Amino acid sequence: MSDRRITSHPILPIPAPVPVTFTWQGRALQGQAGEMLSAALFANGVRTFGRHPKNGSPQGIFCANGQCAQCTVIVNGLPVKACMTALEPGMVVEPLDGLPALPEAAAAKAFAPVETVAVNCLIIGAGPAGLSAAVELGKLGIQTLIVDDKDRPGGKLVLQTHRFFGSVNACYAGTRGIDIATRLAGDVARYPSVTTWLNSTAIGVFSDGKVGVVRDGREYVLITPRVLLVATGAREKSLTFKGNTLPGVYGAGAFQTLVNRDLVRAAERLFIVGGGNVGLIAGYHALQAGIEVVGLVEALPECGGYNVHRDKLVRMGVPIYTSHTVVSANGTDGVESVTIAAVDDKWRAVLGTERSFACDTLLIAVGLDPVNEFYHKAREFGVTAFAAGDADEVAEASAAMFSGKIRGLEIARTLGHAVGEVPPDWVRTAEILRSRPGAVTHETVPSGGGMFPVLHCSQEIPCNPCTSVCEQGSIFIDEGDIRHVPDYIAEQLGHECIGCEKCVNICPGLAITLVDMRKGEDVALVTIPYEFDKGAVHPGDVVTVVDTAGEVLGNVEVARVRAGKATDRTVLLKVRAPVEIATRIAGLRMQEPSVSDPLAHYVERLEDDVIVCRCEQVTMGEIKAVIQAGVRDVNEIKALTRAGMGACGSKTCGSLIMRAFRECGVPLDEVTANVPRPLFIEVPLGVFAGAQD
């Protein structure tokens, strides 16, 4: 196997490889049975999947989620999306250079009638919201069908190696996302009234109230639901800058898919654009996979994600450049460097502040848009429809779970079940879980000696696992509003810390340490959570410890390494440290500062290739020209420039076209929006006629 595979990971199990052979441009390559073709190609070092028919520009993966068509390749003569096509032995795979051509048909196809299925509730999406809704419906015995385009349930949960924030009672807080996915899927499987179709893509809602689903990639089924729940999640927003479509520029979700689902080391050196939770978490996941994270830019003066996520990255040695933007991704056939610059108060790059960094991958994590086209069409066509999770409002997965639970109850009521109103405490919990990070208040650092936890957690976010594991009840958050910062109240209670380390272990932000000053005047023992290779640190090793802001406090000796079933893949390192720094220690430096050194000179990309529509390679300049000529209708822009006419159906460029209007000074209320029409996903035409293989 290629060395681009991840062969060990601190959190994820590595399955035994089942090698299969396929060909790429006539060359025999090895992949693994059942993995997506995109993963097999990446693992073999292939990042350019084809050339665009308009200008020959290299095309690579962008969403890894079936939403765009950038990863299209030719398999056995037919175009397919590499990210949605499972590898099979003997596949003959070619790049899509230009437009695909239909192969000669050996014989006329046979056709079968299209099946029609009636269900009480159809749920599109087996992510946290869809599964949580299905559990509520299953409890009531309501006939429910879930369809999902992936090969396993869980949605984006299957990419999340970190423990979840939120409420322990409401949404499995303190449990890793990958494990929540397994639990939710297990819960759903207990209810016989709920059926799940995996590898099944919903492609549109039609005016007769039917929902078209392509099952297993080939069988077309029309579903007639009494109620439709759209739990389709969110798609990543795109960004315009020079070189923005080079292979190696892709969404953070795509990166997490390649790394955490497909176990492919998708980059050597990574740069991230966007300091929301998605970008911050992607950086952490990259470090866990052994990938260097060169830096992260955020245009705002502060990162929008949780401070504890930001602090994890900073502690490990990743610089965060706030009030900065990406100027260009540079390279010929793929990313070789990125150039960033400071921004002024109008978000313009400030000349003279440019810096370039060598990297092979640039992640775009600038926010998410709800995948809500199914919901809007359903409503337009009079179908009784609900939306849950990110398809309703983009928020954390914990909020998605709870919103699914509420929709489940609402759907049951709509179907005539006497379930009553949604309890007010559910509504309140949903509101809390949806909330954005709040004020930064205080860290809890007990004074005096003895043994105590230090809560390096100073921002109001919905999270309470630390309170649930303290057997003494010494960590307090008002259960009425778990957004409050935790307080250590042992002294008020007359309790003493027993040193169980459970709070250190469970904190999703890795923001709790345990300080033990009982051994002497000068030296304290400090327990630090660590989610990296436990085999890489041993008692007696010297490690560099840092404070919350990543400032180096010194080099200290490891006294103990604790990892076992009870710590659930978190390693608890105990270090011996001078008492003066003991309470400030928040983590270990993981990456050498030299990784983030800028290049000696900044790289200027001369080509003015700021692309808005990737599918049709339409530039910002072309779109602004028609806006400046007076066009105010997005549909007309499509007709004139082809922007939005591509395979993804405008899912990637839609919001960027609206941005072009804003940048031209056109108020959006003067703009006629794009009219989305089914199909929302590309489908081989023969599928509609029930074409048989």
Rounded to the nearest 5 percent, the helix, strand and coil shares of the chain are: 25, 25, 45
The C-alpha atoms of residue 491 and residue 453 are separated, in whole angstroms, by 12
Residue 409 or 612 having the CB closest to ligand FES = 612
Return the range that interacts with ligand FES (CB under 6 A); candidates 359-367, 511-519, 531-539, 644-652: 644-652
Kindly tell me which residue out of 120, 583, 596, 652 binds ligand FES, with binding defined by CB under 6 A.
652
Residue 337 or 650 having the CB closest to ligand FES = 650
Q: Name the token pair of 300.
A: 């705002």
CA-based nearest residue to 573, from 614, 603, 617, 538: 538
Interacting residues with ligand FES between 654 and 683 (CB under 6 A): none
Return the range that interacts with ligand FES (CB under 6 A); candidates 83-91, 163-171, 464-472, 614-622: 614-622
Binding of residue 641 to ligand FES (CB under 6 A): no
Pairing of strands 200-205, 211-215: antiparallel
Kindly tell me which residue out of 246, 585, 613, 627 binds ligand FES, with binding defined by CB under 6 A.
613
The C-alpha atoms of residue 622 and residue 232 are separated, in whole angstroms, by 32
Return the range that interacts with ligand FES (CB under 6 A); candidates 148-156, 275-283, 546-554, 647-655: 647-655
Handedness of CA 551, 554, 559, 561 (dihedral sign): positive
Residue 483 or 614 having the CB closest to ligand FES = 614
Residue 4 or 614 having the CB closest to ligand FES = 614
| Three-state DSSP string of 487-525 | EECHHHHCCCCCCCCHHHHHCCCCCEEEEECCCCCCEEE
CA-based nearest residue to 624, from 616, 613, 614, 615: 613
H/E run at residue 250: strand 249-251
Residue 615 or 660 having the CB closest to ligand FES = 615
CB 486 within 8 A of CB 457: yes
Least CB distance to ligand FES at residue 618 (A): 7
Binding of residue 127 to ligand FES (CB under 6 A): no
Return the range that interacts with ligand FES (CB under 6 A); candidates 106-114, 179-187, 468-476, 646-654: 646-654
CB 315 within 8 A of CB 587: yes
Output phi, psi for 363, to 5 deg: -95, 135
CB 650 within 8 A of CB 675: no
Least CB distance to ligand FES at residue 60 (A): 14
Binding of residue 505 to ligand FES (CB under 6 A): no
The C-alpha atoms of residue 164 and residue 169 are separated, in whole angstroms, by 12
CB 223 within 8 A of CB 217: no
CB 562 within 8 A of CB 572: yes
Kindly tell me which residue out of 181, 646, 660, 674 binds ligand FES, with binding defined by CB under 6 A.
646
The C-alpha atoms of residue 25 and residue 148 are separated, in whole angstroms, by 32
Residue 20 or 615 having the CB closest to ligand FES = 615
Return the range that interacts with ligand FES (CB under 6 A); candidates 40-48, 264-272, 457-465, 641-649: 641-649
Burial class (CB in 10 A: 0-12, 13-18, 19+), 183: middle
Residue 148 or 616 having the CB closest to ligand FES = 616
Amino acid at 144: T
Q: Could you tell me which residues are beta bridge partners of residue 571?
A: 530
Q: How many residues bind ligand FES (CB under 6 A)?
A: 12
Pairing of strands 144-147, 234-236: unpaired
Binding of residue 650 to ligand FES (CB under 6 A): yes
CA-based nearest residue to 254, from 463, 38, 451: 38
Binding of residue 178 to ligand FES (CB under 6 A): no
Least CB distance to ligand FES at residue 369 (A): 13
Return the range that interacts with ligand FES (CB under 6 A); candidates 18-26, 443-451, 639-647, 671-679: 639-647
Kindly tell me which residue out of 614, 659, 660, 681 binds ligand FES, with binding defined by CB under 6 A.
614
Residues 561-600: x/- map of binding to ligand FES (CB under 6 A)? ----------------------------------------
Binding of residue 653 to ligand FES (CB under 6 A): yes
375-379: long-range pairs with CB below 8 Å, 24+: 375/230, 376/676, 377/204, 377/205, 377/676, 377/678, 378/205, 378/211, 378/228, 378/230
Residue 176 or 242 having the CB closest to ligand FES = 242
CB 515 within 8 A of CB 454: yes
Least CB distance to ligand FES at residue 638 (A): 8
Q: Name the token pair of 306.
A: 């949780």
DSSP string across 557-579: EEEEEE-SGGGTT-EEEEEEEEH
Return the range that interacts with ligand FES (CB under 6 A); candidates 143-151, 203-211, 360-368, 609-617: 609-617
The C-alpha atoms of residue 310 and residue 280 are separated, in whole angstroms, by 6
Least CB distance to ligand FES at residue 92 (A): 27
Kindly tell me which residue out of 615, 627, 637, 660 binds ligand FES, with binding defined by CB under 6 A.
615
Least CB distance to ligand FES at residue 375 (A): 21
Least CB distance to ligand FES at residue 258 (A): 21
Binding of residue 648 to ligand FES (CB under 6 A): yes
Least CB distance to ligand FES at residue 434 (A): 29
Least CB distance to ligand FES at residue 641 (A): 10
Residue 43 or 637 having the CB closest to ligand FES = 637
The C-alpha atoms of residue 383 and residue 373 are separated, in whole angstroms, by 13
Residue 132 or 652 having the CB closest to ligand FES = 652
H/E run at residue 182: helix 177-189
Return the range that interacts with ligand FES (CB under 6 A); candidates 4-12, 349-357, 536-544, 612-620: 612-620
Residue 328 or 617 having the CB closest to ligand FES = 617
Kindly tell me which residue out of 470, 644, 671, 681 binds ligand FES, with binding defined by CB under 6 A.
644
Return the range that interacts with ligand FES (CB under 6 A); candidates 116-124, 364-372, 389-397, 650-658: 650-658
Residue 462 or 654 having the CB closest to ligand FES = 654
Residue 573 or 643 having the CB closest to ligand FES = 643
Output phi, psi for 336, to 5 deg: -115, -25
Least CB distance to ligand FES at residue 234 (A): 17
Handedness of CA 524, 530, 532, 533 (dihedral sign): positive
CB 65 within 8 A of CB 16: no
Residue 362 or 648 having the CB closest to ligand FES = 648
To which residue do tokens 């270990």 refer?
588
Residue 287 or 657 having the CB closest to ligand FES = 657
- Binding site residues, ligand FES, CB under 6 A: 613-616, 643-646, 648, 650, 652-653
